[in-house]
Structure 1
Amino acid sequence: MKIEEIISAKSKKELEEIGTVAEIVNVINHAIQPLHVSCDNYEKVLHTIKILKEKWLDFKEGPFTSKQKEMVFYLTKLDGNNREKCLGINDEHYENKKIAEKWYKNIAKYVHPDKLSNNETEAFIKLNELYNNLIDYDENEIDTEGDLHE
Structure 2
Amino acid sequence: MKESREYLSKILDAESIEDLMGVGPASDILNKLNANFHPFVLTVDSYKDLLEAVKAVRRSWPKENKGPFVSRQAEIVFYLTKTDGKLRKKFLEITDEHYRDRKLAKKWFKSLAQIIHSDKIGEDPIPFQTLSKIYEEMTHEDDGDE
- Where on the TM-score scale, by shorter chain, does this alignment land: which range? 0.5 to 0.7
Q: May I ask how many residue pairs the two structures share in their alignment?
A: 96
- Deviation readout 1:7-59 (Å, 9 max, x if unpaired): xxxxxxxxxxxxxxxxxxxxxxxxxxxxxxxxxxxx526x6xxx8xx624882
Matches within 5 A, 1:60-99: 60=63, 61-62=65-66, 63-99=68-104
Matched residue type, 2:114: K
SS across alignment from 2:115: helix
Matches within 5 A, 1:45-124: 55-56=58-59, 59-60=62-63, 61-62=65-66, 63-118=68-123, 120-124=124-128
2:134 equivalent in structure 1? 130
Query: 22, 39, 57: which one pairs with 1:44?
Result: 39
**Larger-Rg structure:** 1
Structure 2 CA distance for aligned equivalents of residues 121 and 100 of structure 1 = 21
1:36 equivalent in structure 2? none
Which piece of structure 1 moves more, 59-68 or 102-111? 59-68
Distance 1:141 1:109, change over 3 A: same
TM-score normalised to structure 1 length: 0.55
Long gaps (5+) in structure 1 = 1-42
TM-score normalised to structure 2 length: 0.56
Long gaps (5+) in structure 2 = 1-37, 42-53
| 8 A contact 1:57–1:65 mirrored in 2 | no
TM-superposed deviation, 1:142:
4.3
| 8 A contact 1:111–1:121 mirrored in 2 | no
Structure 1 CA distance for aligned equivalents of residues 60 and 90 of structure 2 = 26
